[in-house]
Amino acid sequence: MSQVVTEGQGGPVALPGTAYLSVRFTPAQAHDERGRSTAEVPPGSIGYPTLRGWAAAGDFEGHVGFGLGLRGTLPVRLAESRRADGTQAISVDVRRS
C-alpha cells in the first residue's frame, strides 16, 4: 500500500517507513457516548528493523483504523485472540527479510 488514509476524511496518515499496512476494525468504535476517545494510541516510531512505527487512522461511522509503517513490502500475518477478561487482542507478525 502506498499510504494509509484516515477514516472518513481520506487524508494521509504520517508514518515512518517505505511500505504501509492499513488495519481496519468493522464494526467498531473507539469513543464513548459523549464522543471522547476510549483508545490511547500515541503515534510512535520504534527501533524494530522491519516495523518502523504506527499511528491511529481514525474512528468514523463504525470503522476504527490504524496504520503501520514498514521497511519494504514483506509478508505479514495477523492474528486475533480473546483474553480471559473478554477483551480482544490483535497481533501483527511482520517477516524480517
pLDDT in tens, 19-71: 999 998 889 888 889 988 887 777 677 778 888 888 989 889 989 999 999 98
Q: Is the pLDDT of residue 97 over 90?
A: no
Domain assignment of residue 33, yes or no:
yes
Q: Is the pLDDT of residue 79 over 80?
A: yes
Domain assignment of residue 62, yes or no:
yes
The pLDDT, as a whole number, for residue 12 is 93
Domain assignment of residue 26, yes or no:
yes
The pLDDT, as a whole number, for residue 1 is 60
Domain assignment of residue 4, yes or no:
no
Q: Write out the residue range of the structural domain in which residue 58 sits.
A: 19-94
Q: How many domains does the chain have?
A: 1
The pLDDT, as a whole number, for residue 4 is 93
The amino acid at residue 78 is L
Domain assignment of residue 2, yes or no:
no
Domain assignment of residue 82, yes or no:
yes
Domain assignment of residue 51, yes or no:
yes
Q: What is the largest CA-CA distance in the chain?
A: 45
How far is residue 90's CA from residue 8's CA, in Å, rounded to a whole number? 23
Domain assignment of residue 5, yes or no:
no
Q: What angle do CA 73, 64, 18 make, to 5 degrees?
A: 20
Task: Kindly state the average pLDDT of the residues 5-29.
Answer: 90
